[in-house]
Amino acid sequence: MGGQSGIEVLRCLDHGGTMVTYGGMSRNPVTVPTSALIFKDVKVVGFWMTRWQDKNRGSPDSKKMVDDILDLIVQGKLKGPAHRLVSFKNYEEALQSAANPRGFAGIKIIFSFCDNQ
pLDDT, tens digit (0-9, with 9 covering 90-100), for 88-109: 888 887 787 777 666 556 778 8
The residue ranges of every structural domain in the chain are 3-74, 83-112
Q: How many residues are present in the chain?
A: 117
pTM beyond 0.95 = no
- Protein fold of 3-74: Rossmann fold (3.40.50)
Q: What is the pLDDT of residue 77?
A: 95
CB-neighbour burial class of residue 2 (10 A; exposed 0-12, middle 13-18, buried 19+)? middle
Show Cβ contacts of residue 31 under 8 Å, excluding neighbours closer than 6 positions.
2, 3, 6, 7
pLDDT, tens digit (0-9, with 9 covering 90-100), for 30-67: 888 888 889 999 999 988 889 999 999 999 999 999 99
Q: What is the pLDDT of residue 105?
A: 62
Q: How far apart are CA 84 and CA 15, in angstroms?
A: 42
Q: What is the pLDDT of residue 68?
A: 96
